[in-house]
Structure 1
Amino acid sequence: MSGEPTGDGTTRATSTSPAPRSRPRRSPGHFIGAYGLLALAVLLFLVFSLALPDTFPTLDNISSILSNQSVPALLALGAMVPIVTGRFDLSIGYGLGLAHVMVLQLIVSEGWSWPLACAVVIIGGAVVGVLNGVVVEFARIDSFIATLGTGSVLYAVTGWVTGGTRIVSGPNGLPPAFTDLYDSTFLGLPVPAFYVLALVVVLWLLLERLPLGRYLYVIGSNPRAADLVGIPTRRYSVYAFALSGLIVGFAGVLLAAQQQIGNPSVGLDYLLPAFVGALLGSTAIRPGRPNALGTLVAVAILAIGLAGIGQLGAQFWVTPLFNGATLLLAVGFAGYSARRRLRSGAAANRRGGKVAGTSQEAQDVP
């Protein structure tokens, strides 16, 4: 506030605060970039429904897709968290294999109760994530190399635990309450789908609504700036790896309840789809940044595409071809979205500087 003289010798208060700026309009390109992947998922579902009207758009098929893709969706969400900070965790596939083997080993061979075995494995996944974060952040080893090394160690531990053979539940089978973690339904849909939905909500709250998420995004976009504003980048990066390991541990428990047989090499099959979902998800909903909702949409596209081409009678090699081609497209689109976001931010800053300069000039005019 400042005083302005009037004719009667008094002063009248005037405001020097800038006028409120109107909210910028969203361009059509923004909506296409944000929701184009979701529209593509709907389009794929319609195309396969028209091509396979008797089998694809049925409740049984939808339930099968939701059930079969629950573990890949959980693993994609787990892979997404370190990517937020600009790191990659290549050990998640090996960690998934070790987690599902350990659950069955503790229940079948050691006679543990299934809740205790599940809790220990999930906590163990978080511990592995912390070790990954410590190696990356404090030993200063590139995340690709560090997590590939720890993943090889986890694979070796898996082979040592199983002796290179499968773990079979035996004549009495596994506890029904444990297998119900995967086999049960709720509201007519598989329960694993609700696990995925609950995790998406939790990650959305953590990343989009809490300071933790803002810190992780700042670290991922500009670690130097994060250091300058006082964010402990190493500690929060370790948090990201720990959360990823926790999710991988839970995914391993669910995989054990699904397969009911411990296969020491099964986790590697989930590594590529997980990164496809995480990277492709960074081009949707919030283009240019990894996010939980976008990852869910990306996993939906993969699930619909794989189910559709499978029912059309595609050869076995089509699945890895689909995953590999989608990964290349995901990396390309993710890079383009990130560059577009940076250009948009720079343009907004330039416009803001021009507006501020014009306002200052207007105030300096007598």
Structure 2
Amino acid sequence: MTHSPSRRSPLGHLRGHLVGSYGLLALAVLLFLVFSLTLPGTFPTRDNVSSILSNQSIPALLALGATIPIAAGKFDLSIGYGLGLAHVLVMQLIVNEGWPWPAACLVVVLGGAAVGALNGVVVEFGRIDSFIATLGTGSIMYAFTGWITDGGRIVPGPSGLPADFTGLYDSRFLGLPLPAFYVLALTAGLWVVLERLPLGRYLYVIGSNPRAAGIIGIPTHRYSVYAFTGSGLVVGFAGVLLAAQQQTGNPSVGLEYLLPAFVGALLGATTIKPGRANVLGTVVAVAVLAIGLAGIGQLGAQFWATPLFNGATLLIAVGLAGYSARRRLRTGTATRRSPARPPAAPPQDSHP
């Protein structure tokens, strides 16, 4: 008995599902084991793990922030510029304006949400492609960053910054860096929003087919603005954390975080729930990037290895996403075209 070549056995289908959904997670574990065996004295140590969690907290936050508009089929290229502006503005308010640090942080986080909402309005009601619109607003943010700093750095006085403010980044909880728990909390919150609440379902519908979303009554413009607002809120918080980490206002900081954020978000769309942006996949992708960069760094890689690694991973992520989409399309087409199995013939009478 022959089977159609388009049909797959249940075991093969299960294997393909496991590889597609959890292959990247397995790669993260494999990378950690390989580097641990290669660098047994430095890599699998508590200090190294703490360093990875701390150093990758801001890229992870930005990647999660970028995931929100991507779920709605949009891209926010302003997040790198917004991060630079947010951390400079925090330093300006605390150091030069004398604001209490909680007020300065609150204003910057809310300001990030307002900028995100503005991005959404420009994209949706100005009918400008999200790539172009957010690149334009990002350039304006970069101009504001230069205007605030006058091209120089904002450096605290002899007394330094408030210890409670720098503790936002330097503190530890349960023996681990506090920023790791920010990432954990944001991951949990976004997972609930995107996977369990109507808002998330609406964003996914808009991202997959905005015209159909409008036909069934989803206010696509409004929810797209919500997505950009959420992204801006996360960027504002990441900017506060960056200021607590850097403890100076540097107008040139921020853009280097853009590529890792999108690598994490796009690569994350190829795992856990392949074919759509999801927060758990983003976290797994960031873990792969963090482990890989930490490992090659300890092996003595040159400074150019980091952008090479990020760029190559981005190309692989986009390629895998496109391949996955084409494969699902072919599978769906083959399923629709496959003829129904004819009913079994009735038993023949054996009488002569």
TM-score, normalised relative to structure 2 = 0.91
Cα deviation, residue 336, structure 1:
1.8
Distance 2:308 2:93 in 1: 37
- Choose from 77, 82, 98 the match for 1:90: 77
The one of 271, 276, 282 aligned to 2:263: 276
Code of the aligned partner of 1:105: Q
CA displacement, residues 118-138 of structure 1 (integer Å, 9 cap, x when unaligned): 000000000000110010000
User: Partners of 1:118 and 1:160 in 2: how far apart?
Assistant: 20
AA at the equivalent of 1:200: T
**What letter is aligned with 2:199?**
L
Aligned-partner Cα distance in 2 for 1:27–1:215: 29
- 1:72-120 superposed Cα distances (whole Å, 9 cap, x missing partner): 0000111111111111110000000000000111011111111110000
CA contact (8 A) 1:85 1:237 kept: yes
Residue identity opposite 2:262 in structure 1: F
Aligned-residue offset at 1:350:
6.9
Q: Which residue, out of 135, 144, 166, partners 1:148?
A: 135
Superposed, 1:324-335 pairs within 5 Å as: 324-335=311-322
Larger of the two Rg values belongs to structure: 1
Q: Secondary structure at the match of 1:167?
A: coil
Match of residue 161, structure 2, among 174, 183, 189: 174
Once the two structures are superposed, what CA deviation does each residue of 1:182-217 show, in whole Å capped at 9, x if it has no partner? 001111100100100110111111111111011000
Distance 2:169 2:337 in 1: 53
1:27 pairs with 14, 20, 25, which one? 14
Structure 2 residue 43 is the aligned partner of structure 1 residue 80: no
Q: Does residue 337 of structure 1 match 2:314?
A: no
| In 2: Cα distance, 1:157 partner to 1:135 partner | 18
Q: Can you give the 5+ residue segments of structure 2 that lack an aligned partner in the other structure?
A: 1-9, 344-352
Give the Cα separation in 1 of the matches to 2:25 and 2:309.
18
Deviation at 1:315, TM superposition (A): 0.8
TM-score normalised by the chain length of structure 1: 0.88
Match 1:233 to one of 195, 213, 220: 220
Name the aligned partner's letter for residue 23 of structure 2. G
CA separation in 1, counterparts of 2:60 and 2:103? 25
* 1:134-178 CA distance string (max 9 Å, x none): 100001011111000000000000000000001101101111011
Number of residues paired by the alignment?
333
Q: How does 1:1-366 map to 2 (within 5 A)?
A: 27-344=14-331
SS at match of 2:77: coil
Question: Contact 1:184 / 1:191 at 8 angstroms: preserved in 2?
Answer: yes
Task: Work out the CA distance in 1 between the residues paired with 2:177 and 2:331.
Answer: 41
* Pairwise CA distance, 1:343: 4.4
Number of the residue aligned with 2:350: none
RMSD between superposed Cα atoms in Å: 1.7
Q: Give per-residue Cα distances to partners, 1:245-289, cap 9 Å, x unaligned.
A: 000000000000111011111100100100000000000100000
- Distance in 1 separating the partners of 2:309 and 2:135: 24
